[in-house]
């Protein structure tokens, strides 16, 4: 860890130590450190001739469910080949140390849960689960198939349990994330561009209710100019250092 980052990491650790409630928002930059391609970079090989946006909508699924299902099956196979990175493990360690840490993620890969994090607020759903497109209920099916399986309840088509373009964020996720932001003493955005709404508005909501705001991202974002703690580095590098600064020691499992 370059020495010039240490004072800001120490300052963020002190803010965490003093906070009663900490909310962390994670985005694709965190999963990128595990080798998960970002949504718009996921097109390769057979899928290079498609735009991701043209496959991720209810209209696309209704028009050509087989192609959409097969693309998401390929994405699931990509995710199955990666592991949580040091940033995921560090956030799980933070949950064990901070009395009220709330995690909101824009990622759909389930890597937080695989690292042991509990009660993750999933803004955009979870790619590793499925739901009925007709009834919207979560279903258990054999999804290692070439074609979308039928719903065991209504025989309607089954789709990945993710939020597509033109669909609303689940109400329970919105409610939980909004409550977390409002109640936070410290809000930290990790690896997110701070562009996609409504998640991008959570930092402003937290600040409006008195929270201090931190950002961990190697790139400048729309949020960068207004944060109290800005660390320009990869999450997988900074988060373990943050845990060490908070605890005085940190040995990843």
Which are the catalytic amino acids?
124
CA distance 92 to 120: 10
CA distance 139 to 135: 10
CA distance 110 to 18: 30
CA distance 168 to 152: 25
> Where are the alpha helices (H) located in the chain, listed in sequence order?
6-18, 28-32, 58-63, 65-80, 86-97, 111-114, 171-183, 202-208, 235-247
* Bridging pattern class, strands 212-216 and 186-190: parallel
Closest by Cα among 97, 96, 91, 94 to 115: 91
CA distance 125 to 89: 21
């Amino acid at each position: 860890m370059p020495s010039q980052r240490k004072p800001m990491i120490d300052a963020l650790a002190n803010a965490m130590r003093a906070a009663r409630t900490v909310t962390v928002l994670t985005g694709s930059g965190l999963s990128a450190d595990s080798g998960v391609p970002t949504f718009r970079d996921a097109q390769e090989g057979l899928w290079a001739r498609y735009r991701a946006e043209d496959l991720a909508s209810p209209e696309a699924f209704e028009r050509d469910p087989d192609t959409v299902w097969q693309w998401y099956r390929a994405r699931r196979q990509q995710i199955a080949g990666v592991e949580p990175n040091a940033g995921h493990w560090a956030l799980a360690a933070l949950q064990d140390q901070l009395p009220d840490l709330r995690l909101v993620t824009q990622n759909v890969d389930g890597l937080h849960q695989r690292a042991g994090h509990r009660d993750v607020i999933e803004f955009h759903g979870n790619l590793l689960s499925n739901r009925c497109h007709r009834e919207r209920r979560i279903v258990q099916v054999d999804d290692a198939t070439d074609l979308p399986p039928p719903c065991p309840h209504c025989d309607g088509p089954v789709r990945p349990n993710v939020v597509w373009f033109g669909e609303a964020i689940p109400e329970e996720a919105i409610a939980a994330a909004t409550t977390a932001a409002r109640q936070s003493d410290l809000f930290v955005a990790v690896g997110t561009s701070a562009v996609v709404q409504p998640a991008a508005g959570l930092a402003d909501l937290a600040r409006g209710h008195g929270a201090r705001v931190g950002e961990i991202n190697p790139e400048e974002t729309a949020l960068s100019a207004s944060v109290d703690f800005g660390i320009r580095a990869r999450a997988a590098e900074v988060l373990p250092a943050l845990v060490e600064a908070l605890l005085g020691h940190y040995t990843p499992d």
